[in-house]
Amino acid sequence: MTSQSGTSGSIDISNYHAYIGIRVWKRNNAGTETEITDGSPHAIAAVPSSSGIVFAYWSCPQTSLATTDAIVVRVYASDGSTWVLLDTWVTEQLGATQLDGVQWTVYYYIYVVSKTGVYNFRFDTTTYNSRITNFSWSIVSKTWHDVAVWSFQLLTRKWNNISTFALTLQTRAWHETTWTFQLQTQKWHEITSWIFQFATKKWNSIAYWTWQTITYGWHTITEWTFTLITHGWHTITLWHITIGGTDIPILFIGLLFFAAILCLTFILAHKTI
C-alpha cells in the first residue's frame, strides 16, 4: 500500500467480475483490529471488459491512532450479490497519532482474457499498478494551556438515573487560577454516594476557593465525601463551605464549640459543689 514488492501478484476473479472494492481497519500492537469502514466495501469500481486500470474514491474519516498502529486494507470482489476477499494489504507501524480525514483514490488493475472469460486482479508492480493515493497520516501534539478561569455548572431536577459522574480537568499550572464548581438540583434523595476530589502539587498562592452545594433536602444521603489534598495551606486567605444555602464561617463554629465546652464544665462543677 505504501510500497511495491516488484513481484506481480495475481488473483482470479472470473466468478466475481462485477465489482471490486476495499474495507479498511486499524491494527494495534497486540494484533486487535478495529474497522474504519462501516462493515461493507467502499471505493467500489465496476470490473472492465478489457484489461486496464479502474479507480474509485473513498472519503477516509479522521481517525485517532496509537503510534504502534498499522493500517489494514482488504480488497474484495463481487458477482453483484456476494463479496469475497481477494487480498490483504498492511502498512508498517506508522508512528502516527492520526489517520487524516482525506479522500483516497483507489486504483485496481484488472487483467482480462476475453476469449476464455478469465479475469484477474493484479498488483505489486509498476505495470500492474494497483494502489492507493492520498493515503496520509500525521502526528498531532497536545497543547496545554494555563487556565485562568474555569466554570462548570450542571442543573437538573433529578439525578436518580445517574450512577457514576466524574469530572477531570488537567492543566499545566493551577497555582494562579480561580476554580469554581457548582451543582444545583431540586432533588438529591436518590444519590447514595457522591465524591469530589481535588489534588494539586501547589496551592500556596490560591487566594480564594469556594465550594457550594445547594439542595432542598439531604435527609436520605447516606454518604458524602469531600477530599482536599495539598502540601501547604499557610497562605490561603479565605476558604469556606456553603451547605443548604447557609454560610457558616469555620471560625464561628469553633467559637460555638468552645463556648459549649465551657458551659458544660461550669454545670458539672456546680453540681459537684
Kindly report, residue by residue over 46-89, the tens digit of the pLDDT.
999 999 999 999 999 999 999 999 999 999 999 999 999 999 99
* Residue 220 vs residues 34, 152, 213: alpha-carbon distances, Å: 45, 25, 15
Q: For residue 79, which of 20, 18, 121 has the smallest C-alpha distance?
A: 18
Bridge pairing between strands 98-99 and 137-138: antiparallel
**Segment 128-134 long-range contacts (CB within 8 Å, at least 24 positions apart):** 128/8, 128/9, 128/10, 129/4, 129/53, 130/53, 130/75, 131/1, 131/4, 131/106, 131/107, 132/1, 132/73, 132/104, 132/105, 132/106, 132/107, 133/104, 133/105, 133/107, 134/102, 134/103, 134/104, 134/105
Tell me the sheet residues that pair with 212. 182, 242
* Residue 62 vs residues 52, 56, 59: alpha-carbon distances, Å: 31, 19, 9
Distance CA 134, CA 3 (A): 13
Cβ-contact 23, 74 below 8 angstroms: yes
The dihedral of CA 113, 114, 115, 119: what is its sign? Answer: positive
Instruction: Specify the residue for cell string 476554580.
Output: 179
| Mean pLDDT, residues 153-181 taken together | 56
Q: What is the pTM of this model?
A: 0.54
Q: For residue 40, which of 26, 19, 60, 21 has the smallest C-alpha distance?
A: 21
Region of 202 (left: φ > 0; alpha: ψ -120 to 50; beta: rest) is beta
Cβ-contact 58, 51 below 8 angstroms: no
The pLDDT score that the predictor gives to residue 151 is 63
Maximum Cα interatomic distance, the chain, rounded to a whole number of Å: 126
Per-residue pLDDT for 15 more than 60?
yes
Residue 243: all three cell numbers together: 451547605
Total number of residues shown for the chain: 273
The pLDDT score that the predictor gives to residue 168 is 59
The pLDDT score that the predictor gives to residue 108 is 97
Distance CA 171, CA 174 (A): 7
The pLDDT score that the predictor gives to residue 189 is 45
**Would you place residue 95 in the very low, low, confident or very high pLDDT band (cuts 50, 70, 90)?**
very high
Mean per-residue pLDDT of the chain: 74
- Which one has a higher pLDDT value, 117 or 199? 117
